[in-house]
Amino acid sequence: MKLAGKVAIITGAGSGIGRATAQRFAAEGARLVLGDANDTVRETAAAIGDAATALIIDAGSEADVARLVATATDRFGRLDIAYANAGISGGLTGLLDHSVADWDAILRVNLIGPFLLIKHAAPVMMAASGGAILCTASVAGLRSGAGCPAYSASKAGVINLVQTAAQQLSGTGVRVNAICPGLIQTGMTQRAFDYAAEKGVTARIGRLNPLRRAGQPAEVAALALFLASDEASYVNGQAIAVDGGLSSSHPVTRQETGKTAA
């Protein structure tokens, strides 16, 4: 029970990584306030039971994020963990095809959203002498090639935001870290999986990473649990990839041991 007695906020908890993390946190003893723009967040909370409260929220709205934090403190009397996981992908739009509206929408949810959760959660945690803040970034934020331009830029911003927040919260006991998923099978990526199945090329999904497969939300949730727990008490200001090894190399013609070049 690594999170026994702790209270956590998770955004984007209606499906995918957010739902898997909510389930894992609950199994480890946490009480939860779950937010999502989709009413499927109520299903996540219902499956967990009395330990979870669901709110329909816009992760890029300051009023909604403040309401999440207030709900945690009003219902449970404390806040130990805040996970800014909500995000939108932006599809496959090319750089010259992006509109300003595309950028506005993606940055508002993906980058301003994490900023808002840090802004409102950190003071509560500081008053209690510590806590853990997590943000979902992406391997697309580490280098190009894993997402559309606006999405990639937003996730690069999340990584820098986490580093900056860790520094500016020095001495408060509040840790801030980012998780950088690679190709994870979620609602956001399901179109690619469906397309591959339709074309009979499912085996090719994830072939660019050394594990040669896609990841599952539970595998990201496992890292989130570690970073949220006291076991990660000396981990701060980091961006950790969960990507099967994809980000360990620039694109190359791979030379594998005992095999000819791929």
Residues 155, 147: contact at Cβ < 8 Å?
yes
| Residue length of the chain | 262
Alpha-carbon distances, residue 125 vs 22, 122, 132, 221, 236 (angstroms): 20, 5, 8, 22, 15
Give the residue ranges of DSSP H helices in 12-77: 16-27, 41-48, 62-76
Please tell me the pTM assigned to this model: 0.92
What are the structure tokens assigned to 170, written together? 């020095």
- The catalytic residues are 151
Q: What is the pLDDT of residue 196?
A: 61
3-state secondary structure of 153: helix
Residues 223, 231: contact at Cβ < 8 Å?
no
Q: What is the pLDDT of residue 38?
A: 97
Rg (alpha carbons) of the chain, rounded to whole number: 18
CA angle 154, 120, 180 (to 5 degrees): 35
C-alpha–C-alpha distance, residues 262 and 260, integer Å: 6
Segments making up each domain of the chain, as ranges: 7-184+216-245
Q: Per residue of the chain (262 residues), what is the pLDDT tens digit?
A: 999 999 999 999 999 999 999 999 999 999 999 999 999 999 999 999 999 999 999 999 999 999 999 999 999 999 999 999 999 988 778 888 889 999 999 999 999 999 999 999 999 999 999 999 999 999 999 988 888 899 999 999 999 999 999 999 999 999 999 999 998 987 676 676 666 666 666 566 767 888 888 899 999 999 999 999 999 999 999 999 999 999 998 765 555 555 554 4
Sign of the Cα torsion 73, 57, 64, 240 reads: positive
CATH 3.30.70.141 fits 7-184+216-245, yes or no: no
